[in-house]
Amino acid sequence: MKPTETDSLGLVRMCCRALDEKKAADLRVLDVRELSSITDYLVIGTATSEPHVRALRVELEKALDSAKTHIVGFETARESGWVVMDAFDVMVHIFTPEKRDRYRLENLWRDGREIPVKDLLADKKAPVKRAARAKKKAARKLPKKGAK
Mode of pairing for the β-strands spanning 113-115 and 73-76: unpaired
DSSP 71: -
For the chain, percent of residues with pLDDT exceeding 70: 78
DSSP string, 72-105: -EEEE-TT-SEEEEE-SSEEEEEE-HHHHHHH-H
List domains and CATH numbers for the chain.
5-136 (3.30.460.10)
Where is average pLDDT lowest: 8-17, 62-71, 72-81, 102-111?
Answer: 72-81
pLDDT tens digits for 37-49? 999 999 999 999 9
pLDDT tens digits for 92-137? 999 999 999 999 999 999 999 999 999 999 866 544 444 455 555 5
- Enter the pTM of the model: 0.78
Query: Cβ distance 50 to 96 under 8 Å?
Result: yes
Query: Which residues does 6 contact at the CB level (< 8 Å), separation at least 6?
Result: 127, 130, 131
